[in-house]
Amino acid sequence: MRRLCGWETAGGVPSEATFSRAFAEFAASDLPGRLHAALLDRTLKGHLAGHVSRDSTAIGGRESPAPKPAPTARPKRRRGRPHKNEPRAEEPCRLQ
């Protein structure tokens, strides 16, 4: 712990009272918060920071698929070519 804080020798470690006083001043200055804000401002400047929120609320749905509508009945036609005098029924093409 001493080496992580930057003191190589045991004599370099401050007393408990000095350390406590320095820590209180460090906490009151809000230095970590300002450092974090400056870091975000520098690295994410001009970018949008978003997040994804997901809701696990159940959504009611059908258990079985909806029934399909019955097909419309088409008039029956005779097979083959119509007679000479019989009028031809012109069906509209897809574009019409």
Within-domain flag for 60:
no
pTM of the model: 0.33
Within-domain flag for 90:
no
Residue 45's alpha-carbon distances to 32, 42, 52, in angstroms, are 19, 6, 21
Mean pLDDT across 53-81? 81
User: 77-91 pLDDT, tens per residue?
Assistant: 777 777 788 777 777
Q: Phi then psi for 2, rounded to 5 degrees? A: -60, -40
- 37: containing domain: 10-43
Within-domain flag for 53:
no
Closest CA to 23 of 45, 5, 48: 5
Number of domains, the chain: 1
Within-domain flag for 62:
no
Q: How confident is the model at residue 74 (pLDDT cuts 50, 70, 90)?
A: confident
Within-domain flag for 82:
no
Within-domain flag for 30:
yes
